[in-house]
Structure 1
Amino acid sequence: MKKKLARKPAAQAAAAPAQPVRLLPLGAALMAGGLSLSAMAQDTATPAPKEKALSAVTVNATTEAPPEDGYRATATRVGKTLQDPHDVPQAITTVTRSLMEEQQVGSLKEALRNVSGLTFNAAEGGRSGDNMMLRGFYTYGDIYLDGIRDTAQYNRETFNLEQVDVLRGAAAMLFGRGQAGGVINQVSKTPMLVDRNRVTGSVGTDDYRELTGDFNKVLGDTTAVRLNVMKRDEGSWRSNPATGTEPEIHREGAAASIGFGLFTDNELIVSHQYLRTDDNPDYGISFDNATHKPTKRFDESDFWGIDQNFDESETNISTVTHTYRFTGKTQLRTQLRYSNYKRAYWASAPSNTVAPSDRGNAPKTRKSDTDNLVLQSDFSTEFNALGMKHELVTGIEYLHEDSVRWGLLNLGTNARPYYSSSVVNRASASKYEGDTYSVYAQDSIEFVKDWKVVLGARRDFMDAEYSAVRSPELKFNENSYRAGLSWQPSEYAHYYLSWSDSFSPTADLYQLSGGEFPPERSDVVELGAKFMFFEGDLAFRTALYRATKDWERNNDLESTASILTRKRRTDGLEFELAGRITDKWEVFAGLALMDSEILKVAVNRNATTGVVTSANPNFKGERARNTPTYTFNFWSTYALGNGWKVGGGAEGKGERYGYNPSAGGTAAFNPNKAPAYVRWDAMVAYEQPKWAVRLNLRNLFDEVYYDAIYDNGGFTVPGTRRSAILTTEFKF
């Protein structure tokens, strides 16, 4: 069946090797954190004969590259084991490499335009960088790289990504502390047992230039090395009328990895990723205080930044991943990662009354230096007990975080400020240092044929010191749970009911929190169905959910309040389609309908007087900020023959609110509003086995639309106007 063949790559990765292997000393050291789990494997796993002459041998012997997924992903690890997304009893959206390449995606933000129910926040208050909302809830604490927390504030790129998995709903049982919206997991490219090289060069309007390279070289029967590189520069259609300054993007990166024992019982991958950014950030335009719409006093193309503004970052991430397979169904996977994130920025905020000038406006500055160390070990096995089939996943994790943040020191005057990324205001330093210890276990039990129940629990112990809150010593011991019921009457249909919860103390994200309030708690109930059509080539899913969050914290360090809402909720309905309708016709589409509501307004305590105040009671019953009633995305391509392919699609969002839900008073609810929009894109390509040329057109009808909104309501950022990118690709 085609569907079984589609699952074959995932099976290959989990399969036993075709030849004997040797235990590597470094791999043995990494296994130390999970040795007690291997003893459990001997007691619980059902012995299974090792498979011989599987596809791994075929792959080693061929010069052809392994098959690509197209728009429908066939493997994901967001459930801690390698699975087909169709089998996971929770909503998952996967943006594949094929989809990103056809759309000429460079940044993670651009890739996530393909995720329905997701909106973008404009940078402010120290939360600049990738900053998204999913199902109406923040995700800045829920971004991961290969299953490891990646919450530092920077702008991520896709040049080294195989795919992006979005697991919707509370996921603390699998990933630790987090929000109600879901988890965004970036999946890195890894070495392959086939020689394959790819170079692309792109040029476009607004000074767009990009060069990428993906080089994979086989060094032995089970050893390979892979190198990915990227350099991209972009200008903008917006500019400062006084100086001609434009928002700019300048980014470069390199990622190298080497794999030993690939597709064997004893696999070791060592990797390092480097990313450098040097941008001139765009904070958009202000809202009009009278109309509560984007201001008309200035043109949409006006930019308040100046040449001296900057957003500089340097990211280094080193990872060692060891996988030991006891049998075809039992494995131990251990990851050790050290990462360092440096970032400094000086941005000019827009104004509704002051025109752009050569002096900038309302400077926003920040510098941060973050070190993270993570040891994570996951053990999975399958066995039979009490007449039932069990799929057990259990693991441990240690996370050490050490970060310091400063404001930058003004080297000029208030009339003409000037900042340098190397000169900080020492008096403004805020420090965070935390240790988190976690243990979890989950069992998926097939209690009768085609019916499974999923039960999981996790315990997180967090001990942290934070210099910028009223209770500098923060200790939390929290439980998280996951439960689900699945019915798969055939390999093409899956019905499920799931419940999951999460918690977040939020101090690690540099939110104003303090110890006098309990941590954020969320829970999500989801009823869903997943179907396969055309023998597995086309996947369709739908989900009906209710997500509730208590004690929602503020994400803006410049705010005087710590609690945004006491309780709020999003009820939603989602539809998604991904895959091939015919051999020539592919489609990826999503629709999310969201009904969000504030159920209880904020309660805050004055840091000096201790007086407790409540937010404006008129906020109760109103829609949450930056949560439109609908979002949708659509992309489709068709191969015309003789190498020609055409494609196109649209991305749209409903009206979004921006306001401060913790504000006091009794004024009527009248928030700033970013209007609804639809952006159309198109693509035409000519593809040959060794080379290709592709033309991408963005915002085909040249509409003015507002891409991101500062959720406290001060400003909104216009999206790109009509632009064109021409890409040439060579394979060898």
Structure 2
Amino acid sequence: MSSTLKPIPSNASLTDSGRPRQPLLTLGAMMLAGVAFNAQAETTPAKSEKTLPTVTVSGNKEVQPDGYRASKTRVGKVQQDPHEIPQAVTTVTNTLMEEQQVGSLREALRNVSGLTFNAAEGGRSGDNMMLRGFYTFGDMYLDGIRDTAQYNRETFNLEQIDVLRGSAAMLFGRGQAGGVINQVSKTPLRLDRNKVTASLGNHDYREVTGDFNKRINDTTAIRLNVMNRDEGSKRANPTSGTEPELHRSGIAASVGFGLSTADEIIASHVYTKTRDIADYGVSFDSTIHRVNTKFPAEYFWGIDRNFDDSDTHISSVVYSHTFQSGAELRTQLRHADYKRQYWAKTPNATLAPSPIGATGGNQTRKSRYETVTLQSDLTAQLTALGMKHELLAGFEYLNEDGYRRGLLNVGTASAPQYYPDVENTATPAATFKGDSYALYAQDSIEFVPQWKLLIGARRDQLKADYSSTTSPKLSFGEWSVRTGLSWQPAEESHYYLSLSDSFSPTADLYQLSGGAYDPERSQVIELGAKWLFMHGDLALRTALYRANKEWERNTDLESTASILTRKRRTDGIEFELAGRITPQWEVFSGLALMNAKILEVAENRNATTGVITKADARLQGQRARNTPDYTFNLWTTYKLTDNWKVGGGVEAKGKRYVYSPSTADASSLFTNGEFNPNTAPAYERWDAMVSYEAKSWTARLNVRNLADKVYYDALYDNGGFAVPGTRRAYILTGEFKF
């Protein structure tokens, strides 16, 4: 953990890494004043000496954004270089997202090795990813605060995306074994800077974004980010021409007071709106356990009356106080309100699409999720007993209020019709209210030069009330721990061993099972190394890990099983390269090799009779679902001249299984005694980019899926369907800075 940042004087400029640096003009003025003073001293009697007035020139230098190698992150609760964290960290920078013309969080996360996408039914729709073979729906964060609602996230207001791999342990308390995905918002800057982009592409792609920052005075600024995007698809209903559609917009406003002073306040509000027609893909063929080939991959079962509407409001206030000693107290207060309603058509395995929705299933949901979070962290550095200490202590309060219910079919079975806000009152709503409290502390001790010992612990207490009559209340109190040993023989190298054991105190996670079972726990051990080359411009890391998950929960409300597996494990190794190889050549690449399997099968208790049913014993030892044995990603660019740049890359994943691991009779998953569940094939997707960059404007052409290959990137993990990825897409973007 690096030093806590100290306040920056208002007349200081910043280096590219964000560290304070006195303006060159001020230094020059001081030198001139000194020369003038010396000259006068040599020609004027002492009795007539005069002191020249102090010359102060204040200014603000624009902080240059990171390239592909991130130089700072707060995913470890303190702003520091990712190189200093004794745990694997992947950062998707703003530069990388812009060059790839990324609009959604999901598209940005294609750059993260070891990550795959789930296609969700009614119980867990929205952004839904697997990392190192484990779910991340309990591990989505926005600026260090939980953001796990079921919605689709956009990147227009994101500075970067940090992925802290491994159990979150005492840093966040809750956590799957895979890691934490933390979105980092853009904040006001002490300078005037504006940028507008406009993009056009095939499949009716249109996007406009704006990023406007206004400096009010030395310590006050406001920032406004806006976005509107529309996108179609090559897939369509052959009877009506209806396509999956994205219609998304957002606005994010923030104001900062006391910027770079001892007392800094940043207040913000983000509103995002989606009006989509969701794509639930194509079905699997149950006879061959492969993606259905009875219909073309371009067939879409949706109709123009389908809808996927969401409105998200997130309001935050962050107050930071830096003491004279350099210690920092940082407190965040947030209210978030997530509303979503949808009606989506699922594919049919044997019947072609219908213009009125007569074929295919219907998935509907009305949901609202509100949270209030208060979080405060104190960081400090000191020397005690002859050793250097970097201390972290804090507390967190989280209030959750959730509501879910299906919509009412006001049409017929052959001609269904659903409307927003028309709920099916014949079935009870699923509701919960939860309160979580946490205290945590951590110390990083440099007990001998170059060696640090990290020790941290967190206590979480969760209480929740549910609408379920069989498990109406829940109360958990658990400890999470984190420890690590670091050796940094030089500034450019870091070797570490880390261990963590986490509890997941999330009311949403336990809505099916209540307190009938032990809470989820994750244990991770990781041995890693990080190196910096090219004067710190290029970072290489590797990590060897073992991750265990106990009492793995199911949050898909369409399922009756509360527990997915009793114990599951992933063993893996990762390699990642990010940064600048030469002044013209940049690269971002990752390789993940994973061996994920079920160690102990699930056991589920009947809520009425109390009878316990175990999953099929033959599933023990089988590969976990939606976890390929390898993933690989590469993006690289080369600057041909001062203006022209070319780039390209590939995303590749091995084959992935999808099935229900909690089924009591898994006979359908075996063929001649061999495990043969529904399987999505391995794939590679190639992309390319060319751009012309001038001082105040940029023109860029992106081509996604150069080969126009049919591939399946998102899978419904219970095995019903797979969603095809993007077909060949051309996007032309113009960017103007002023």
TM-score, reference length from structure 2: 0.92
Counterpart secondary structure, 2:110: helix
Q: Shift of residue 337 of structure 1? A: 0.5
Report what 1:29 is aligned to.
none
Which residue is 1:86 aligned to? 83
Corresponding pairs, count: 693
Secondary structure of the corresponding residue to residue 219 of structure 1 = strand
Letter in 2 for 1:98: T
Alignment-derived partner of residue 585 in structure 1:
585
User: Contact conserved, 2:462 with 2:507, CA < 8 A, in 1?
Assistant: no
Equivalent in the alignment of 1:180: 177
Structure 2: distance between partners of 1:57 and 1:122: 56
Letter of the 1:146 counterpart: D
Match in the other structure for 1:40: none
Q: How does 1:160-559 map to 2 (within 5 A)?
A: 160-327=157-324, 329-360=326-357, 361-426=360-425, 427-468=427-468, 470-504=470-504, 507-509=507-509, 511-559=511-559
Aligned partners of 1:539, 1:60: CA distance in 2, in Å?
37
Matched residues in 2 for 1:443 and 1:713: separation?
A: 45
Shift of 1:328: 5.7
> Quick check: 1:688 aligned with 2:687?
no
Once the two structures are TM-superposed, the CA of residue 472 in structure 1 deviates from its matched residue by 1.1
Q: Does 1:729 align with 2:735?
A: yes
Q: CA deviation at 1:57?
A: 11
CA–CA distance in structure 2, aligned partners of residues 274 and 102 of structure 1: 25
Rounded to whole Å, the distance in 2 between the matches of 1:265 and 1:68 is: 24
Offset from partner CA, 1:372-393 (integer Å, 9 cap, x none) = 1111000000000001000000
Matched letter for residue 723 of structure 1: A
The aligned residue for residue 40 of structure 2 is none
The 5-angstrom pairing of residues 9-28 of structure 1 reads: 14-18=5-9
Amino acid of the structure 2 residue aligned with 1:208 = Y
Paired amino acid for 2:373: V
What is the alpha-carbon root mean square deviation over aligned residues? 1.8
Report if the CA contact (8 A) 1:269-1:320 is conserved: yes
8 Å CA contact retained: 2:699, 2:732: yes
In the alignment, which residue of structure 1 is the partner of 2:66? 69
Following the alignment from structure 1 to structure 2, what is the Cα–Cα distance between the partners of residues 469 and 564?
A: 22
Alpha-carbon distance in 2 for matches of 1:469, 1:446: 53
Structure 1 residue 52 displacement after superposition: 9.0
What is the DSSP-based 3-state SS (H/G/I as helix, E as strand, rest coil) of the residue aligned with 2:109? helix
Instruction: Report whether the alignment pairs 1:719 with 2:725.
Output: yes
Q: Is the 8 A contact 1:341 1:370 kept in 2?
A: yes
Once the two structures are TM-superposed, the CA of residue 469 in structure 1 deviates from its matched residue by 6.4
Q: Secondary structure at the match of 1:287?
A: strand
Identify the residue that residue 37 of structure 1 maps to in structure 2: none
1:455-477 CA-partner distances (Å, limit 9, x unpaired): 00000111110113621110110
For residues 482 and 677 of structure 1, the distance between their equivalents in structure 2, rounded to whole angstroms, comes to 37
Aligned amino acid, residue 408 of structure 1: L
Deviations 1:306-334 (A, max 9, x none): 00101000000000000000036300000
Per the alignment, do residues 549 and 225 of structure 1 end up closer, same or farther by CA in structure 2, a change over 3 Å counting? same
Aligned to 1:41: none
In the alignment, which residue of structure 2 is the partner of 1:608? 608
Tell me, in whole angstroms, the C-alpha distance in 1 between the residues paired with 2:6 and 2:222.
Answer: 21
Asked if 2 retains the 8 angstrom alpha-carbon contact of 1:470 and 1:515, the reply is: no
**8 Å Cα contact 1:91/1:543 also seen in 2:** yes
- Secondary structure of the corresponding residue to residue 110 of structure 1: helix
AA paired with 1:374?
A: T
Do the aligned partners of 2:572 and 2:595 also contact (CA within 8 Å) in 1? yes
Shift of 1:511: 4.8
1:578-632 CA distances to partner (integer Å, 9 max, x unpaired)?
Answer: 0000111100000000001111111111222221111111101100000000001
Asked whether the equivalents of residues 140 and 148 of structure 2 are also in contact (C-alpha less than 8 Å), the reply is: yes
Alpha-carbon distance change, 706 to 60 in structure 1, aligned in 2, over 3 angstroms: farther
**2:658–2:678 contact (8 Å) kept in structure 1:** yes
State how far apart, in whole Å, the 2-side matches of 1:177 and 1:392 are: 21
What pairs with 1:643-722 in structure 2 (closer than 5 Å)?
A: 643-665=643-665, 667=667, 668=670, 669-722=675-728
Contact 2:575 2:590 in 1 (8 A): yes
Alpha-carbon spacing, 1:293–1:67, altered in 2? closer, same or farther (3 Å): same
CA contact (8 A) 1:469 1:512 kept: no
Distance in 1 between residues matched to 2:397 and 2:506, nearest whole Å: 18
Cα distance in 2 for partners of 1:350, 1:636 equals 37
The one-letter amino acid paired with 2:212 is F
Question: Relative to structure 2, which stretch is displaced further, 499-508 or 553-562?
Answer: 499-508
The DSSP-based 3-state class of the residue aligned with 1:428 is coil
Q: Secondary structure at the match of 2:171?
A: helix
Greater mean deviation of Cα atoms: 509-518 or 135-144: 509-518
Does the alignment pair 1:149 with 2:143? no
Quote the offset at 1:61 in angstroms: 4.0
C-alpha distance 410-279 of structure 1, shift in aligned 2 (>3 A): same
Give TM-score scaled by structure 1 length.
0.93
Q: What SS does the aligned partner of 1:408 have?
A: coil
**Distance in 2 (alpha carbons) for counterparts of 1:554 and 1:316:** 27
Q: Is the 8 Å Cα contact of residues 399 and 434 (structure 2) preserved in structure 1?
A: yes
- Displacement, 1:499? 0.3
1:552, 1:628 → 2: CA distance? 19
Following superposition, the deviation at residue 722 of structure 1 comes to 0.7
Farther-moved stretch of structure 1 (419-428 vs 182-191): 419-428
Name the SS of the counterpart of 1:109 in structure 2. helix
Q: Deviations over 1:644-664 (max 9, x none)?
A: 000000001100000000001
Helix, strand or coil for the counterpart of 2:170? helix
Q: Note the C-alpha offset of 1:231.
A: 0.1
Deviation at 1:666, TM superposition (A): 5.3
Percent of aligned pairs sharing the same letter: 65
Is the contact between residue 616 and residue 665 of structure 1 (CA under 8 Å) also seen in structure 2?
A: yes
Deviations 1:270-301 (A, max 9, x none): 10000000000000000001111110100000
Greater gyration radius:
2
Distance in 1 between residues matched to 2:271 and 2:640, nearest whole Å: 39
In structure 2, C-alpha distance between the alignment counterparts of 1:123 and 1:105, rounded to whole Å:
22
- Gaps spanning 5+ residues in structure 1: where? 1-6, 21-50
1:510: how far off? Answer: 6.1
- Secondary structure in 2 matching 1:377: strand
Counterpart amino acid of 2:712?
Answer: Y
* 1:54 positional shift: 5.0
| 1:132 counterpart letter in structure 2 | M
Is the contact between residue 510 and residue 557 of structure 1 (CA under 8 Å) also seen in structure 2? Answer: no
**What secondary structure sits across from 2:406 in the alignment?**
strand
Q: Contact 1:506–1:513 at 8 Å: present in 2 too? A: no
Secondary structure (helix, strand or coil) at the match of 1:556 reads coil
Checking the alignment, whether the CA contact within 8 Å between 1:484 and 1:497 is kept in structure 2 is: yes
Residues 672-729 of structure 1: CA distance to partner in whole angstroms, max 9, x if unpaired?
0010000000000000010010000000111110010000000000001111000000
1:268 to 1:419, Cα distance in 2 relative to 1, 3 A: same
In 2: Cα distance, 1:340 partner to 1:380 partner: 30
Mark the CA change 1:294 to 1:702 in structure 2 (over 3 Å): closer, same or farther: same
Matched AA of 1:524? V
Letter in 2 for 1:153: Q
Is contact 1:60-1:194 (8 Å) kept? no
Q: Report the CA distance between 1:19 and its aligned residue.
A: 5.9
1:159 correspondence with 2:165: no
1:70–1:230 distance in 2 versus 1, CA, 3 Å: same
